[in-house]
A and B are shown apart, each in its own frame.
Chain A
Amino acid sequence: SQQGEEDPQALSIQEGENATMNCSYKTSINNLQWYRQNSGRGLVHLILIRSNEREKHSGRLRVTLDTSKKSSSLLITASRAADTASYFCPTVDYNQGGKLIFGQGTELSVKP
């Protein structure tokens, strides 16, 4: 399939720990984006990494991209209860107007 696939499907950690989630994709990409979704709410754009970048930081977020392995990872450092959410890495289908193709996401639970 074309979608980005997140792994693991669910992750439970204690507050203060780091959370790492992975994304694999099958198509070539121009960039890869990560989104967060709090329970039943809209998606929040977290970070975009371009295909010629290997690593990008934004606050407590660190994203890596390995285009040779068609994979990306999102690291959240010093996690907080407020980080509890689902995280998605949709791919972009430029042949269809740039539509985003989502996997099922990683459901992160951060326990206080």
Chain B
Amino acid sequence: DAGVTQSPTHLIKTRGQQVTLRCSPKSGHDTVSWYQQALGQGPQFIFQYYEEEERQRGNFPDRFSGHQFPNYSSELNVNALLLGDSALYLCASSLGTLNTEAFFGQGTRLTVV
């Protein structure tokens, strides 16, 4: 049973560019949440997707957007990258929106230079 998979694992982008990160949820899961984790900090909630719609959003600007596909996989897009967007981006999947037990992927390490 494949767990949560994220791609790519590492990424280097230039300030001002746009980036797309991808996530495939654990088999049987229908909800995907995205988190940003700065070095030395705990993960911060970006948003959650369920039934192909953004259901909840954390305190992140509109430069952060996402999408969920019919197969439940999800993308996180960040436009106009800033140096401060450098972080580990984590995807978590769960069954339903109440995250009783969330499973995380290995993350995508984004470096903005």
Contacts and interface: CB of A to CB of B under 8 A. Distances in A.
Contacts of A3: 42
Contacts of B48: 97-99
Nearest to A99: B45
Contacts, number: 74
A90 B109 contact: no
Contacts of A102: 35, 42-44
A88 B42 CA distance: 8
Contact of B107 (A33, A41, A96, A97): A41
Contacts of B40: 104
Interface residues of A, number: 25
Interface string B77-91: 000000000001010
A105 to B, nearest CB: 6
Interface string A96-112: 11111111110000000
A35 to B, nearest CB: 8
Interface in A47-70: 48
Given A97-B48, A99-B56, A100-B92, A43 B43 contact: yes
Nearest to A33: B101
B43 A98 contact: no
26 contacts: A3-B42, A33-B102, A35-B104, A40-B109, A41-B107, A42-B4, A42-B6, A42-B90, A42-B107, A43-B43, A43-B90, A45-B103, A45-B104, A94-B98, A96-B56, A97-B50, A97-B55, A97-B99, A99-B48, A99-B56, A100-B43, A100-B92, A100-B99, A104-B40, A104-B42, A105-B42
Interface of B: 4, 6, 33, 35, 40-45, 48, 50, 55-56, 58, 88, 90, 92, 94, 96-107, 109
